[in-house]
A = this chain, B = another copy of it.
Amino acid sequence: MLADPFMTEETAAWAKAMGVKNVTKDYHDILASPEIDAVLICSSTNTHAPISMEAIEAGKHVFCEKPVDLEPANIRKVMDALEKHPELKYQVGFNRRFDHNFEAVRKAVTDGRVGDVQIIRVTSRDPEPPASAYVKVSGGIFLDMTIHDFDMVRYLAGCDAVEVYAEAGVLIDPAIGEAGDVDTAAVTLKMANGAIAVIDNSRKAVYGYDQRAEVFGSKGMAANGNDAPSSAVVTTAEGVTGEKPLYFFLERYMDAYAKEIGSFVHAIETDAEAEPGIEDGLQAVLMGLAAKKSLREHRPVKITEIAEDN
């Protein structure tokens, strides 16, 4: 069943074509249905936590888009609800963990081929900046965009961050600055295992979506590149030219989205841990809030400062 408070005939028709039997404007219809075991929450951010709690209380497994909430306190309420329902799975939508490239980098780490992790670099650049209207309600680049990279850093490091320092500026579009945000950033993180991570972000890479990670350690380095439409290379008097990266997240992460949902279903069916879970959702938000505070106060900020305040 598909619930959308703004359900239109067009959406309803599309849903049917995709094999969804019922549609509704009220998600409570889904929660009330005894036939439904699990829900996917893809609504606007401020509704994630309340709907999550209702769904948990209704006995549904939950897949929730990131961020769970911009307020750690609200995420903790979802955690409390989950504690009362240990039989339920709760997965957060950090889709990049299911990207074949990042998975392979992570596997090199968990296989021990990288050794002790010492340096992590994550590059994450969008092909186009969002509209400034969106920027205003987005929570800022760190909670809207970098949050994926914060989760990636934890995924690759295998531990939490302890401190964050953010450097940023408005280099692409003054309208983003006027909306109170930045469009270019570098975030340095100190991790619990001593590793240092550096994320760089841009809201506009003219060559397309740039999503790379590199993990360096005592035994070696694992890194991934972007995906391109093909492996074809044309060599002429001008140079050796391959295709630029796939345009944006829908192209790059199409397969990752499918695997993500498959993983959620698998966790339910086999009673396995749903990953990434609510704790991952919380940590990424703490890191984002620390980055915001760091930029505002122009100093490194400890995760504990945020956790205690919130």
Contact = CB atoms under 8 A, between A and B. Distances in A.
Interface of A: 100-101, 103-105, 107-108, 113-116, 118-119, 121, 123, 125, 165, 167-169, 171-172, 184-186, 188, 190, 194-196, 198, 200, 202, 204-207, 210, 216, 218-244, 298-300
Contact of A241 (B118, B200, B210, B240): B240
A207 B186 contact: no
Contacts of A100: 229-230
Contacts of A226: 231
A116 B204 CA distance: 12
A185 B195 CA distance: 9
A167 B172 CA distance: 27
B206 A234 contact: no
B230 A101 contact: yes
B244 A233 contact: no
10 closest pairs, A vs B, by CB? A104-B232, A220-B236, A104-B230, A225-B231, A239-B241, A240-B242, A100-B230, A241-B241, A221-B235, A224-B232
26 contacts: A104-B230, A108-B232, A116-B171, A118-B172, A119-B184, A165-B188, A165-B300, A171-B194, A172-B218, A184-B196, A186-B188, A188-B188, A206-B219, A207-B235, A210-B221, A219-B237, A220-B237, A222-B234, A224-B230, A225-B233, A227-B231, A237-B244, A238-B244, A240-B244, A241-B241, A299-B299
A198 B198 contact: yes
A198 B218 CA distance: 21
A251 to B, nearest CB: 12
